[in-house]
């Protein structure tokens, strides 16, 4: 359906910033929602942020709101996650995902397409 490739992960100092990118290809994106999830070692995958492709409306997890910003570039078919004020608790593998539902959802099972993930490590 849709192929998703994440990039931009790496090591960053606590308090620093990092931007992740998710390049999408395949079917039309106009009616899709794009999202970021993350999974830390020994923990379940959790929702981070989402953006409606057609309108740009966003949805954030409480744990990252005011620190992270999700955005899109329609011309490049790319979704970004700007991460500011990074904390060690943000260390995880970050995944890009998408679905075609007409509402916001934080449920992993509701998402149709997933990227391979990119590792983000925040040092103290």
pLDDT for 29 beyond 70: no
Please say whether the beta carbons of 37 and 113 come within 8 A: no
What residues contact 56, with CB distance under 8 A and at least 6 apart? 71, 72
Tens of pLDDT, residue by residue over 43-85, are 999 999 999 988 899 999 999 999 999 999 988 899 999 999 9
Mean predicted confidence (pLDDT) in 100-117: 91
pLDDT at position 39, please?
98
pLDDT for 113 beyond 80: yes
pLDDT at position 28, please?
66
């Amino acid at each position: 359906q849709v192929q998703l490739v994440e990039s931009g992960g790496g090591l960053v100092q606590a308090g620093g910033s990092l931007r992740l990118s998710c390049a999408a290809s395949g079917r039309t994106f106009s009616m899709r929602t794009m999202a970021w999830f993350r999974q830390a070692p020994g923990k379940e995958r959790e929702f981070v942020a989402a953006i409606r492709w057609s309108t740009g409306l966003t949805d954030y997890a409480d744990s990252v709101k005011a620190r992270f910003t999700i955005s899109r570039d329609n011309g490049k078919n790319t979704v970004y996650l700007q991460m500011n004020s990074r904390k060690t608790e943000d260390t995880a593998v970050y995944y890009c995902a998408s679905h075609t539902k007409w509402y916001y959802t934080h449920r992993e099972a509701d998402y149709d397409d997933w990227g391979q993930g990119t590792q983000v490590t925040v040092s103290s």
